[in-house]
Structure 1
Amino acid sequence: MPSRCLQVEQGKTSWPELVGKTGECSAITIENENLLVNTIIIQQGTIIPSIYMCNRVLVWVNDEGLTIRTPRIG
């Protein structure tokens, strides 16, 4: 049986089409397209540890709540 990371990464792993969408819309879309990941909406400028987690997708948003980076697994 493949590892948890391999199972997650067999699905969609990045969502460039969501840049410019609201963070909430991005999070819902991501979790609908890859049921094995959890999304976290992060405000631009927030400092977080750079730890790779294969079941996590960070959705970076600006002050208007719009996605500013391509969300990807990690």
Structure 2
Amino acid sequence: MVGASWPHYPPCVSEDCTNAACCGQEFKYVWPELIGKPASEAAEIIKKSNPAVTVLILKPGFIRLENFCCNRVYVFSDGNGRVSEVPTVG
């Protein structure tokens, strides 16, 4: 089971992958160009470039789960609703 055939998060899917590059064999898996963009706009860009993931926007103070998932991308936003960290599959 790879890529677009994965269920949308949850449940978490990682198979034997332990890093984003392993997950991104079919689709984009890292988005450094989204730093500073509005988080909601970034989420839409991520969904279009990788339909195998569910995008979760996290506001300041929210914490992420530490488990690794190939079908999840966290978008961390700052107090102004802009992307503050590079979104990456995981």
Identity %: 32
Helix, strand or coil for the counterpart of 1:17?
A: helix
TM-score (norm 1): 0.86
Helix, strand or coil for the counterpart of 1:13?
A: coil
Q: Which residue of 45, 51, 54 maps to 1:29?
A: 45
What displacement does 1:49 show? Answer: 2.4
Question: Could you say what the CA RMSD is over the residues aligned between the two structures, in angstroms?
Answer: 2.2
Give the aligned residue type for 2:62.
Answer: T
Q: Which residue of 50, 57, 67 maps to 2:73?
A: 57
Unaligned stretches of 5+ residues in structure 2: 7-13
Moved more, 1-10 or 22-31: 1-10
Distance 1:18 1:55 in 2: 19
TM-score (norm 2): 0.72
Residue in 1 that maps onto 2:88: 72
Distance 2:51 2:78 in 1: 25
Point out 4+ residue stretches in structure 1 off by more than 6 angstroms: none
